[in-house]
């Protein structure tokens, strides 16, 4: 089959030969399907048929509460259907007023408060079908949306921070926003379904999404911008990554990285996490255009036959870097310039307060697993009522207080203290280097606990570190409930990925700066065994490490990763 599906008529000729999922997208009338009919049905809490697949493109996942799944099945009730909605917040930037709006919306429509994700946005869980439209309108009313937060499209564009380089950060952030805007689907389906706005483009034969076409992408596509020395977005885990090259506090352009991805499944040997490769340098102004060119190359050449092989990383491995550089040069009109030197020092968030080059202050609040509910939600709502600054969600699931004027800093600190939020201010502690994904009870793919397990595991982890005199030594730790890699575990120094309830695969040896993949060290191990292994390795690390040597680097240098597998 000719893979170049760019033209509408070419697509029409081959669509019958494509798998059902692709045909469904093609025939969905630019992502409308029958979602509106499904929303009206009162006999079920679900949206029936294939429409939940289309709703992902609108930022909505149909889920059910897995904690009560079997109980409901025994009682012959349908699963407790509910919806997770993910916002699209490029670069994770919010005003305090928007936060207060989100807080109010969560109290009215969702369960478990607000959840900061590993891609700098907010998810709401537990929304009922009847509330979906009012929810989406309430989100619109505070200037936000959920377009393409999920689905086979370009997901929320992430943008790292470097608080000390405010001017450069502002430039890079604007380019991330521009890229996000350029890459979102243009169909009128979103405003039609959720806001009830009739779009004039809903006419037969119209081409509402000329870049995406009726087939959209073969799979999700992720773009990120990062500002060294921080690799907080994990640029090597992105489909397309832009590394800011800065000289004398001026943005020169970006080194371009392609083909990163974390997802894998245990049952297939042709499934693997992959580091993005650095392929050259581009001028800053070109970033969004280059992102679109790469996205359309993936649109045209990504596998449409096998969804698991459809990510861009597999397209690159199948067709090769040489092929990719040639087609990129052809579509862009010129070859890339050679990449420029830069250095990463960490992939975590900054700690404490930093002053930017514009004189304003930025501080990071650590939020365990990004979950904000109960007393923490109340405290933050109280705090933001009088906050003289803005908010940035981080790709490490934390919340930064940004753009605080120098004259307000003392008062901000005092209020944090007064409201009981000071303990969340990141200092050089383990919490700033730890992430876990949502997993149970909402994630349909979870095999083990992650977010709900982290608090217990952290107690053990911290005491192990203390026992070896390593309490103040940050080590990146990430836990996921399955191998899909939503908390980017394969880029951590230590990672647990769920196999079954209480059992995990243990990965070790990623780097502290997020540029080396961790290796599988032990499969299907329980907490007892994990603690035993870490205890032994922490002991060696504490006694034999070089000055300032990081845990992952120590394991690699001493070739400890292939030894003593159980």
First and final C-alpha spacing in the chain: 46
Cβ closer to ligand SRM: 441 or 552? 441
Is there binding between residue 484 and ligand SF4 (CB under 6 A)?
A: yes
* Cα–Cα distance for residue pair 197/189, rounded to 1 Å: 9
Q: Is 104 a catalytic residue?
A: no
Among 121, 400, 476, 511, contact with ligand SRM (rule: CB under 6 A): 121
Alpha carbon of 484 to those of 54, 434, 438, 525: distances in Å?
21, 17, 12, 18
494 binding partner (options ligand SF4, ligand SRM, none; Cβ < 5 to 8 Å by kind): none
* Cα–Cα distance for residue pair 203/185, rounded to 1 Å: 17
Beta bridge partners of residue 226, listed in sequence order: 243
481 binding partner (options ligand SRM, ligand SF4, none; Cβ < 5 to 8 Å by kind): ligand SF4
Is there binding between residue 61 and ligand SRM (CB under 6 A)?
A: yes
Among 82, 480, 505, 511, contact with ligand SF4 (rule: CB under 6 A): 480
Cβ closer to ligand SRM: 129 or 311? 311
Buried b (16+ CB within 10 A) or exposed e, 100-127: bbbbebbeebbebbbbbbbbbbbbbbbb
Among 147, 486, 491, 534, contact with ligand SF4 (rule: CB under 6 A): 486
Q: Of the listed 119, 155, 274, 465, which one is catalytic? A: 155
Structure-token match 């890339």, residue found? 336
Query: In the bound complex, what is the minimum distance in angstroms from residue 341's beta carbon to ligand SRM?
Result: 25
Cβ closer to ligand SRM: 118 or 180? 118
Structure-token match 């450069």, residue found? 168
Is there binding between residue 437 and ligand SRM (CB under 6 A)?
A: yes
Query: In the bound complex, what is the minimum distance in angstroms from residue 385's beta carbon to ligand SRM?
Result: 26
Cβ closer to ligand SRM: 182 or 331? 182
For the chain, how are helix, strand and coil distributed in percent, rounded to 5? 40, 20, 40
Cβ closer to ligand SRM: 220 or 415? 220
Residue 6 in contact with residue 296, Cβ under 8 Å? Answer: yes
DSSP secondary structure, 175-205, as one string: HHHHHHHHHS---THHHHHHH-PPPTT-STT
Query: In the bound complex, what is the minimum distance in angstroms from residue 234's beta carbon to ligand SRM?
Result: 6
Is there binding between residue 443 and ligand SF4 (CB under 6 A)?
A: yes
Structure-token match 């030197």, residue found? 341
Is there binding between residue 503 and ligand SF4 (CB under 6 A)?
A: no
Q: Is 220 a catalytic residue?
A: yes
Backbone φ and ψ for 261, nearest 5 degrees, come out as 180, 150
189 binding partner (options ligand SRM, ligand SF4, none; Cβ < 5 to 8 Å by kind): none
By CB under 6 A, which span of 137-145, 346-354, 433-441, 549-557 interacts with ligand SF4?
433-441
Is there binding between residue 261 and ligand SRM (CB under 6 A)?
A: yes
84 binding partner (options ligand SF4, ligand SRM, none; Cβ < 5 to 8 Å by kind): ligand SRM
Q: Is 443 a catalytic residue?
A: yes
What dihedral angle (degrees, nearest 10) is formed by the CA atoms of 66, 69, 70, 72? 160
Alpha carbon of 373 to those of 103, 175, 293, 369: distances in Å?
10, 32, 41, 12
Closest by Cα among 332, 327, 333 to 312: 327
Q: Of the listed 25, 32, 86, 415, which one is catalytic? A: 86
Beta bridge partners of residue 246, listed in sequence order: 251
Q: Of the listed 443, 465, 488, 516, which one is catalytic? A: 443
Among 25, 32, 58, 119, contact with ligand SRM (rule: CB under 6 A): 119
Structure-token match 């352009």, residue found? 253
Alpha carbon of 550 to those of 393, 412, 475, 554: distances in Å?
27, 34, 8, 6
Q: Is 86 a catalytic residue?
A: yes
What number of chain residues touch ligand SF4 (CB under 6 A)?
A: 13
Query: In the bound complex, what is the minimum distance in angstroms from residue 313's beta carbon to ligand SRM?
Result: 8
Cβ closer to ligand SRM: 65 or 430? 65
The residues, any chain, with a CB within 8 Å of residue 82's CB and separated by 6 or more, are: 45, 63, 64, 65, 111, 125, 126, 127, 128, 442
Among 421, 445, 542, 556, contact with ligand SF4 (rule: CB under 6 A): 445
Q: State the sign of the Cα–Cα–Cα–Cα dihedral 344, 349, 351, 355.
A: positive
Query: In the bound complex, what is the minimum distance in angstroms from residue 346's beta carbon to ligand SRM?
Result: 17
Q: Of the listed 25, 88, 112, 220, which one is catalytic? A: 220
Is there binding between residue 479 and ligand SF4 (CB under 6 A)?
A: no
Q: Of the listed 482, 488, 499, 550, which one is catalytic? A: 482
Query: In the bound complex, what is the minimum distance in angstroms from residue 237's beta carbon to ligand SF4?
Result: 13
Q: State the sign of the Cα–Cα–Cα–Cα dihedral 540, 542, 544, 545.
A: positive
123 binding partner (options ligand SRM, ligand SF4, none; Cβ < 5 to 8 Å by kind): ligand SRM
441-480 residues near ligand SRM, rule: CB under 6 A: 442-445
**Footprint on this chain of ligand SF4 (rule: CB under 6 A):** 437-439, 443, 445-446, 450, 480-482, 484-486
**Residues known to be catalytic:** 86, 155, 220, 222, 437, 443, 482, 486
């Amino acid at each position: 089959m000719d893979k170049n599906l760019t033209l509408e008529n070419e697509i029409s000729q081959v669509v019958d030969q494509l798998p059902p999922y692709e045909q469904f997208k093609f025939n969905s009338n630019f992502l409308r399907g029958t979602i509106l009919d499904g929303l009206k049905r009162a006999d079920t809490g679900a949206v029936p048929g294939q429409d939940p697949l289309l709703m992902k493109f609108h930022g909505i996942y149909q889920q059910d509460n897995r904690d009560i799944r079997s109980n409901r099945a025994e009682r012959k009730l349908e699963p407790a259907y509910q919806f997770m909605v993910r916002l699209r917040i490029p670069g994770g930037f919010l005003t305090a007023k928007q936060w207060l709006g989100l807080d109010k919306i969560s109290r009215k429509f969702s369960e478990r408060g607000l959840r900061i994700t590993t891609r700098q946005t907010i998810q709401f869980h537990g929304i009922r079908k009847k509330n979906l439209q009012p929810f989406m309108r309430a989100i619109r009313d505070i200037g936000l949306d959920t377009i393409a937060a999920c689905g086979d499209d370009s997901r929320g564009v992430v943008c790292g921070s470097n608080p000390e380089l405010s001017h450069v950060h502002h430039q890079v952030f604007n380019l991330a926003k521009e890229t996000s805007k350029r890459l979102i689907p243009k169909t009128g389906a979103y405003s039609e379904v959720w806001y009830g706005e009739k779009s004039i483009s809903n006419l037969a034969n119209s081409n509402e999404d000329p870049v995406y076409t009726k087939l959209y992408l073969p799979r999700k596509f992720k773009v990120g911008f990062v500002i060294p020395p921080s690799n907080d977005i994990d640029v090597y885990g992105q489909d397309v990554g832009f590394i800011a090259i800065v000289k004398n506090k001026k943005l020169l352009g970006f080194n371009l990285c392609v083909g990163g991805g974390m997802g894998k499944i245990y049952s297939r040997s042709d499934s693997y996490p992959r580091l993005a490769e650095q392929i050259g340098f581009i001028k800053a102004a070109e970033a969004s255009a280059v992102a679109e060119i790469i996205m359309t190359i993936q649109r045209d050449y990504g596998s449409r036959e096998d969804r698991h092989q459809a990510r861009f990383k597999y397209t690159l491995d199948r067709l090769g870097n040489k092929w990719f550089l040639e087609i990129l040069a052809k579509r862009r009109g010129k070859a890339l310039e050679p990449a420029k030197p830069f250095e990463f020092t960490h992939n975590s968030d900054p700690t404490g307060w930093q002053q930017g080059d514009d004189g304003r202050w930025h501080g990071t609040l650590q939020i365990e697993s990004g979950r904000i509910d109960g007393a923490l939600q109340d405290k933050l709502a109280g705090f933001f009522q009088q906050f003289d600054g803005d908010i940035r969600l981080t790709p490490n699931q934390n919340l930064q207080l940004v753009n605080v004027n120098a004259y307000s800093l003392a008062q901000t600190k005092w209020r944090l203290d007064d409201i009981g939020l000071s303990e969340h201010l990141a200092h050089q502690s383990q919490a700033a280097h730890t992430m876990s994904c949502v997993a149970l009870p909402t994630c349909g793919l979870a095999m083990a606990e992650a977010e709900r397990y982290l608090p217990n595991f952290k107690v053990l982890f911290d005491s192990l570190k203390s026992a070896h005199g390593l309490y103040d030594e940050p080590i990146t730790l990430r836990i996921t409930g399955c191998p899909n890699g939503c908390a980017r575990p394969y880029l951590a120094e230590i990672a647990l990925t769920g196999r079954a309830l209480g059992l995990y695969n243990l990965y070790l040896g990623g780097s502290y700066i997020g540029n080396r993949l961790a290796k599988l060290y032990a499969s299907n191990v329980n907490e007892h065994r994990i603690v035993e292994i870490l205890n032994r390795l922490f002991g060696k690390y504490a006694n034999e490490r070089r000055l300032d040597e990081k845990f992952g680097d120590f394991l690699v240098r001493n070739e400890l990763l292939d030894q003593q597998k159980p």
